[in-house]
Structure 1
Amino acid sequence: MRRDRLDLMLIAALGALLLLTTAAVADERPPVETTIRRADFQAIWRRGAQKFVSQVLTRPYLRGRRFVGFEILALFPNDKRFRDARIKPGDVVITVNGYRLERPKQFMAAWAALGKATRLDFEILRDGKPQHVLYRIVEK
């Protein structure tokens, strides 16, 4: 696989990882909020970005010629835990914990920061409308 394609896949996948898991959205609705156990989150994070990327299908989402984010096409299709996730296929991930995910360096910086994160904060588009999805990482 070409390196640039792999880099693009890594960038796209980060938004999905954070499913189990700070940017403000220009939306007046309150965030969709839930929790994830730290042990569950760490189990995914410790496997690494490449393993994560292999479980997520995305594509770039553009408005005109401008990159907006990555559209989620499928999330861990063989894992029942993701069936009720707050981020769903069709959502467009714009930021994760304030990190834009346009370039490989941005993806890797966001991935590294997640190891000590206390929350996973997504700015997304759902049906073309901005939405904020928040996962608080809890001990139990």
Structure 2
Amino acid sequence: MKAAIVRRGVISGVACALALSAFGCGGSAPEPSSAVSEPSQAPAPEVPPPKGALWRRDVDQTVDRGLGYFLQRLEVTPSFAPNGSFQGFKILELFDEGFWQGVDLRPGDVVTRVNGQSIEREGQAYEVFQSLKQAPALSVQFLRDGQSRTLDYRIVTPGEAASGAPAPSAPASSAPSSAPAPKAGPAPSGAPQSSNPPKKPAQAKLSFTRKGGPGERSISRAP
């Protein structure tokens, strides 16, 4: 009996993480319980979260609802590798096709980790589930046909989503323009110039004696 309760707690944690993935793809957040009424609180605006994100309020409502609430959304079972080691939880069936529309999950996928943590034991599943209220993101790792895949979602408030939008590009006139480097040109007329003309190569002289008398002949040759 105890083992069955532990298994149910772990599976509930997996179900919750996968159900949150549906919210990031346009699914509906859990409706507030009818037992608790807060007339003074204004209803949250029905604005879809940015692509690849979850609203913080949806995550908080999910955690407040409890682990067992999402067991009705899917059926999973433990999955083991050929060597007998635990792999994760295999999805057997997804209920309510509209709820899962847009989520890249299907029966046969094996969920291995949630937010980087193993979910083999009940304590691990509970810790991951409770940490979602402070977690900046939700990451679900799973295997499909032996290939590893990941679903990643940021968890944001409307204010954070607005501030995270890319800043508008600055107009061209606001950017300081660097002056072009001046081109090299002839020296100004008033600039001093060298008065010494370039020197010509020196001439080499050869001296020899003619037959029958002294003589000298000059021969120019470039050095």
TM-score range, shorter chain: 0.7 to 0.9
Aligned residues: 127
Match of 2:165 in 1: none
Alignment partner of 1:106 out of 107, 113, 124: 124
Q: SS state of the match for residue 12, structure 1?
A: helix
Q: What do you get for the CA RMSD once the two structures are aligned?
A: 2.1
Q: SS state of the match for residue 151, structure 2?
A: strand
Q: Does 1:73 align with 2:72?
A: no
Q: Does 1:16 align with 2:15?
A: yes
**What is the letter of the counterpart of residue 9 of structure 2?**
L
Tell me, which stretches of 5 or more residues in structure 1 are unaligned? 22-32
Please say which of residues 83-92 and 128-137 is displaced more in the overlay: 83-92
Alignment partner of 1:44 out of 62, 77, 88: 62
Match of 1:129 in 2: 147
Give the distance between the partners of 2:97 and 2:121, measured in 1 at CA: 28
TM-score, normalisation: structure 1:
0.78
Report Cα offsets for 1:86-107 as digits up to 9, x if no partner.
3333211111012101111111
TM-score, normalisation: structure 2:
0.51
Q: Does 1:53 align with 2:77?
A: no
C-alpha distance 132-118 of structure 1, shift in aligned 2 (>3 A): same
Identity %: 29
Give the distance between the partners of 2:69 and 2:133, measured in 1 at CA: 15
**What is the letter of the counterpart of residue 70 of structure 1?**
F
Tell me, which stretches of 5 or more residues in structure 2 are unaligned? 22-50, 159-223
Give the distance between the partners of 1:118 and 1:46, measured in 2 at CA: 17
RCO higher in structure (CA 8 A, sep ≥6) = 1
Q: Between Structure 1 and Structure 2, which shows a larger proportion of strand residues?
A: 1
